Structure 1
Amino acid sequence: MKRIHNKDDIVQVGLDLVLSKGFSATGVETILKQAKIPKGSFYNFFSSKEEFGLAIIDKFVEDRMEVLYPILADDSLPPLERVKKSFETIIAIFESNDCSKGCLLGNLGLEMSDHFENVRQRLEQSLQNWTKGLSELLLQAQDAHTIPAEINVEMLAENLISSFQGALLRSKVKKSAQPLKDFIHLYFNVFLSQREG
């Protein structure tokens, strides 16, 4: 394994470990050992493990947006199809990890929201940004008359993310992507499907 030399590399190693083991179970010693860096180096980059937690959230969101932005911005697809495809893409990543790891935002939300206020706020901001991005597409879908005009798009976006996170948790426990596939089917083929008048 290559020797780690900078903060970004430590964050990447730490992110992979935290996704696999959880934040509390990932000690600084483990990160240092995996990154093959001297014992004192961690605190050259981070004042605390909490600050490190904020850095891995930012890295996770940045990586996720690199994958999702081209889908969400693809004007060749109808808005609702882009929303669906964004979730399907996350599901494919989850399946490629043998239905483990899940979403860092959901994982840390469960593990840390009651203990680290700065982490809770960063998670909330990340989820709000996700909600905002979906809301904008859902509003476009509403303008195109593909979803009912009376639906509150912000509430729908928030509920899509909440339901997806719940399905992701269920899939981790079940070691099967079926709950996530059920989420896609129910929302996009049943609840939000166009019906003839």
Structure 2
Amino acid sequence: MTHSAAKPRRGRPPKSPRADQDTRAALIRSGTEVLTEQGFTASGIDGILKRVGVPKGSFYYYFSSKDAFGLAILEHYGAYFANKLDRHLLNTQLPPLRRIDAFVADAKTGMARHDFRRGCLVGNLGQEVGSLPDAYRHRLQETLDDWQRRLAGCLEEAQTAGELSRDADCSLLAEAFWIGWEAP
């Protein structure tokens, strides 16, 4: 009985779906680092690809364009920051206004860790919004609105706890907070 062994395939083994997700995530992480330091317009794809070790041709497997890449980074950053806000603003171990203080202290620590070179991606892109595609303007506004709602919720808890005047407009206070946070 003859048994023919399968011949080994030549070339690179096929990537697993997990490897694709890991590469895409690494590109987004590296892109986030670069965009928080340099902004969108000044950032080049080549430097990001070099940091991750991905060939330029492969970039277009993950993202159709630099604009699509930037939107993916903004989506990732918005979710990351929303989780950071929730970790602090929903921490019932602290009174509501102390939660806001804890968030600010944590953010300061993060900025110091990066030698104050990295700004908030939303603030950076907001300063460039005139030169960005319309989809960015819409996504930036959605992100800020989401963050404002989260902060307003914490301020409403502060009102209920008697830490904040019942007459205070929590939505307006949250908006003022983010204007101050994102201002140049």
- Normalised to the residue count of structure 2, the TM-score between the two structures is 0.82
Contiguous gaps of at least 5 residues in structure 2: 1-18
Q: In structure 2, what residue type is equivalent to 1:14?
A: G
Instruction: Report the equivalent of 2:122.
Output: 105
Identity %: 32
* 1:33 equivalenced with 2:53 (yes/no): no
Q: In structure 1, what residue type is equivalent to 2:111?
A: F
Instruction: Report the equivalent of 1:43.
Output: 60
Equivalenced residue count is 165
Moved more, 99-108 or 17-26: 17-26
* 1:133 equivalenced with 2:150 (yes/no): yes
Structure 2 residue aligned with 1:89, among 94, 106, 115? Answer: 106
The alpha-carbon distance between structure 1 residues 113 and 90, as it changes in their structure 2 partners (threshold 3 A), is farther
The structure showing larger relative contact order (alpha-carbon pairs under 8 Å, at least 6 residues apart) is 2
The alpha-carbon distance between structure 1 residues 93 and 12, as it changes in their structure 2 partners (threshold 3 A), is same
Deviations 1:3-26 (A, max 9, x none): 996211111111111112221121
Structure 1 residue aligned with 2:37, among 20, 33, 46? Answer: 20
Contiguous gaps of at least 5 residues in structure 1: 170-197
**Higher alpha-carbon Rg:** 2
Instruction: Report the equivalent of 1:118.
Output: 135
RMSD: 1.8
1:59-74 matches, cutoff 5 A: 59-74=76-91
- Normalised to the residue count of structure 1, the TM-score between the two structures is 0.77
Q: In structure 1, what residue type is equivalent to 2:164?
A: I
| Distance (Å, rounded) in 1 between the aligned partners of 2:133 and 2:98 | 37
What is the Cα deviation at residue 114 of structure 1? Answer: 4.8
Deviations 1:100-150 (A, max 9, x none): 211111001101345321011111111111000011111111112211111
Partners of 1:61 and 1:126 within 8 A in 2: yes
| Distance (Å, rounded) in 1 between the aligned partners of 2:168 and 2:136 | 32
Partners of 1:113 and 1:119 within 8 A in 2: no
Moved more, 107-116 or 90-99: 107-116
| Distance (Å, rounded) in 1 between the aligned partners of 2:48 and 2:154 | 39
